[in-house]
Amino acid sequence: MATKSGKILAIDDNADILFALKLLLKPHVELIRTETSPSRIPQCMAEDDFDVILLDMNFTKDAISGTEGFTWLEKILQLDPSAVVLFITAYGDVEKSVKAIKAGATDFIIKPWQNEKLIATISSAVKLRESRREVSNLKERQKEFNTIMDQPFADFIGTSPGMKKVFNTISKVAGTDANILILGENGTGKELVARALHRHSARKDESFISVDLGSLSETLFESELFGHMKGAFTDAKTDRPGRFELASGGTIFLDEIGNLSLPLQAKLLTVLERREVTRVGANKPKPIDIRLISATNMGIKQMALEGSFRQDLLYRINTVEIDIPPLRERAEDIPLLADHFLKIFSKKYNKKVGRLSPQVIKKLTAYSWPGNVREFQHVIERTLIMSDSTTLTEQDFHLSAHTQSAGELEIDSYNLDDVERKIIEKVLKKHQGNVSKAASDLGLTRTSLYRRLEKYGL
């Protein structure tokens, strides 16, 4: 161990053994506490959070059978189910040590020990404790999230036919392990659907891991998703599990899956087919047990026909599709959403604001909402913050003029490609060719906009 890490508790009735352990481990660990009596274990564990507990198998009260060691192992695991316990045992007690591992111990150390091997065993045990702590924290955060999201579909609300269809599909497939593909424009709530699916599944108490594939570079893809071993590349200082490993037992949500290049699609398909990942720098694969949910705002079926998205990967990820309608196509949900967000932000900013008037609702309904529910939420929040009144009027809502209605765009064709091309040209002109700003206005990622620029030769 290059740096001191880990708190160790050692219990043995032989003071010489404890002295030798303390002398050996002190340069390598953050803290080592020794006790000759196992009766002190509960108090020690109450006073400090130990990473590893070294426990003698036989004490003076019962010097041969190891029964006392098993009794204290059981008590330790009752006090802390994630405790990492290493038995200290004589050479002839290996059979009992194997039995101890089955009872919940992590490993055993044979007396007399080899110093280097002892240090390596404790180092591995400290890392195991850190991993268990990370998993425990992740599960606790997930439980807190589930408690907060106590409504059937939380912020994801609506009574329009399109939304009823979405809710109905969620109810039917949430309890299965079917792979789900969520389609919809930016801001429609694709991740909310993914979380609702997870929250109503048999995996709800396990991890929900969300990955924005659009933000991952080609070089980081394997390391982030599949993990890496120490020394696999320059910045790999320690072993690190990937997102698939972290999600094992639970759900992994792959957002913006349409942005993956063909080589990365091939690597992802291999993992999904084999249900195992191999960390970068490792030779041995690790099995994974995940429920896959993917999402994209791109025309992924058309991409598959054109050859820019693998047909076999598309078949793999879309056992069931959920298509979320854009907000402009479910205007009847706007009063519900407005009331919902007003309640949230009134409480957040300690303001008393009543329901919106029919005139305000009419104005909000007439707007095309290119950013969908995400934009709607931001507009409500911003308007409430800036207003000093308990009544919000039409004048309080400042909506972008260039997206006020589809009629402002002069079109001489109803061909969707022609209309999309004209809109992109107009927004690019507005931002003087700045692709990032144009993509933001259009509700697209830069990658998605570049694909369209290439498609239309712009």
pLDDT tens-digit map of 350-369: 888 888 888 999 999 999 99
What the block records as the tokens of 347 is 């409480």
- Omega of the bond prior to 112 within 30 degrees of 0, cis? yes
pTM, to two decimals: 0.59
Q: Locate the DSSP E strands across 268-352.
A: 276-277, 286-287, 291-296, 320-323
Tokens of 100: 């101890």
pLDDT for 152 equals 46
- pLDDT score, position 148: 43
220 contact partners, CB below 8 Å, separation of at least 6: none
pLDDT digits (tens, 9 = 90+) for 87-108: 887 765 667 667 777 778 888 8
User: Tens digit of pLDDT for each residue in 258-306?
Assistant: 999 999 999 999 999 999 999 999 888 999 999 999 999 998 998 999 8
315 phi and psi angles, rounded to 5 deg: -60, -35
> What's the rounded Cα separation, in Å, for the pair 265 and 268?
5
With 0-12 CB in 10 A as exposed, 13-18 as middle and 19+ as buried, what is 331?
A: middle
Buried b (16+ CB within 10 A) or exposed e, 15-48: eebbebbeebbeebbeebbbbbebeebeebbeee
Q: How far apart are CA 189 and CA 445, in angstroms?
A: 16
388 to 174, 391, 396: CA distances (angstroms): 43, 9, 10
Query: Phi, psi at residue 80, to the nearest 5°?
Result: -150, 95
Query: C-alpha 384: how far from its chain's center?
Result: 31
Expressed in angstroms, the distance from the first to the final Cα of the chain is 57
Counting as low any pLDDT under 50, the low residues of the chain are 1, 62, 148-152, 402-408
pLDDT at 293: 97
Query: What domains sit in the chain, N to C, each tagged with a CATH number?
Result: 7-132 (3.40.50.2300), 149-323 (3.40.50.300), 327-403 (1.10.8.60), 409-456 (1.10.10.60)
Host H or E run for residue 355: none
For 234, the 3-state DSSP assignment is coil
pLDDT at 406: 40
Are the C-beta atoms of residues 287 and 276 closer than 8 Å to each other?
yes
Measure Cα distances from 373 to 162, 190, 206, 305, 327 in Å. Answer: 14, 11, 28, 30, 6
The answer to whether the CB of 454 falls within 8 A of the CB of 417 is no
